[in-house]
């Protein structure tokens, strides 16, 4: 037990080191900047649109939804890509070759991916607060709710990312296995437009997955109570949000370690070599 704890501590250091390396990397900086400019630009263009039935402007409603969507997206695609990539390039095998290395590796991934949502939040929220009025309408209590929703969202979505990264056959398949379904789900989850404009069964599907609930939770944190009329049932459905996200967290936390372990057991040097050969041969 003591040795496992030691590995977890080493893993936390690992995740933090990787996070700092990511912050220093021009590649990652470019990604954060590109995303922030895109989202803020979208909100800026539509800054004067008013939302029917309320006194709110478009950016106020869209910002929390987009933040919720972004967190879900980042925490599924982020670890998914990392795991798929690091299975192929031998990072995971290195972890397997040291005592309790896998424990440390997974801990590192959790720290890295969780910390990784901070820069995107800061780089979008801070300029957003300056560009648009009245983004946060609930004061300090609202910010506390934001933190709570993010933490619960983290538990609900990060395990999905780890499962995805363990199951996807290779990094080249992340597009069809990861990106496409998440994009489609984001499109129907009320992130960019209210989902009530969609068919009933589509709304039903969207409400099974955590993205919708993350967006709803974030809106409830940022927006005044009068804005709840825009939601399904005219309510923030706080209890349902808690139950839906917690359910995903429980299922994910149960499945992720098992799926990950099964995948890691099959890791070997020749598998890494096969991936290397395959990467050199994109067109088959």
Partner 1 sequence: MITNSVIVAARDLRMRYGSNDVLDGVNFEVRRGEVVTLLGPNGAGKTTTIEILEGFRMRSAGSVMVLGSDPSDANEDWRARVGVVLQSWRDHARWTPRALLSHLGHYYEPYSTPERTRPHDVETLLRMVGLDEHADQKIRLLSGGQRRRLDVAVGIIGRPELLFLDEPTAGFDPQARREFHDLVHRLTDLEDTTILLTTHDLDEAEKLADRILILAGGRIVADGSADQLARDITREAQVRWSRNGEQFVHATPDATSFVRELFEQHGTEVTDLEVRRATLEDTYITLVQKFEGGQNAEGLTAFEEVSE
Is residue 274 near partner 1 by the rule CB under 8 A? no
Q: By CB under 8 A, is residue 258 in contact with partner 1?
A: no
Among 64, 101, 190, 215, binds partner 1 (CB under 8 A): 101
CB of 119 or CB of 210, closer to partner 1: 119
State yes or no: residue 107 binds partner 1 (CB under 8 A): no
Is 99 a binding residue for partner 1 by CB under 8 A? The answer is: yes
98 counts as binding partner 1 under rule CB under 8 A: yes
Query: Which residue's CB is nearer to partner 1, number 72 or number 260?
Result: 260
For 201, the token pair is 């069964």
CB of 6 to partner 1, least distance (A): 5
b/e code 178-196 from CB counts within 10 Å (16+ = b): beeebeebbbbbbbeeebe
List Cβ neighbours of 255 (8 Å cut-off, separation of 6 or more): 159, 163
Binding segment for partner 1 (CB under 8 A), chosen from 48-56, 172-180, 243-251, 266-274, is: 266-274
Among 59, 90, 159, 215, the residue binding partner 1 under the rule CB under 8 A is 90
Question: d(Cα 218, Cα 214) in Å, to the nearest integer?
Answer: 6
SS (H, E, C) 19-82: HHHHHHCHHHHHHHHHHHHHHHHHHHHCCCCECCCCCCEHHHHHHHHHHHHHHHHHHHHHHHHH
Work out how close the CB of 32 gets to partner 1 at its nearest, in angstroms, rounded to a whole number: 16
- Asked if 94 interacts with partner 1 (CB under 8 A), we say yes
By CB under 8 A, the residues from 14 to 53 that bind partner 1 are 14, 17-18, 21-22, 25
Could you give the angle at the alpha carbon of 75 between the alpha carbons of 157 and 220, nearest 5°? 65
């Amino acid at each position: 037990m003591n040795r496992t704890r030691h590995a977890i501590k080493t893993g936390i250091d690992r995740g933090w080191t990787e996070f700092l390396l990511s912050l220093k990397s021009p590649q990652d900086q470019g990604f954060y900047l590109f995303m922030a400019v895109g989202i803020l630009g979208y909100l800026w263009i539509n800054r004067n649109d008013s939302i029917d039935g309320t006194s709110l402007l478009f950016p106020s409603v869209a910002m929390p939804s987009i933040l919720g969507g972004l967190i879900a997206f980042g925490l599924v695609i982020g670890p998914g890509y990392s795991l798929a990539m690091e299975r192929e390039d031998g990072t995971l095998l290195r972890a397997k070759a040291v005592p309790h290395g896998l424990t440390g590796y997974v801990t590192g991934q959790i720290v890295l991916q969780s910390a990784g949502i901070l820069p995107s939040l800061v780089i979008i929220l801070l300029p957003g607060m300056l560009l648009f009025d009245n983004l946060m309408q609930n004061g300090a209590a609202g910010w506390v709710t934001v933190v709570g929703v993010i933490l619960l969202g983290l538990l609900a979505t990060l395990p999905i990312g780890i499962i995805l990264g363990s199951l996807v056959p290779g990094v080249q398949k992340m597009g069809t296995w990861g990106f496409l379904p998440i994009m489609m789900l984001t499109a129907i989850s009320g992130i960019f437009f209210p989902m009530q404009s969609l068919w009933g069964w589509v709304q039903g599907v969207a409400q099974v997955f955590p993205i919708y609930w993350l967006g709803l939770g974030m809106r409830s944190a940022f927006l005044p109570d009068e804005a709840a009329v825009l939601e399904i049932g005219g309510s923030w459905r706080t209890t349902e949000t808690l139950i839906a996200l917690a359910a995903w967290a429980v299922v994910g936390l149960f499945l992720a370690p098992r799926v990950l372990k099964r995948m890691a057991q099959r890791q070997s040097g020749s598998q890494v070599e096969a991936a290397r050969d395959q990467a050199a041969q994109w067109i088959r």
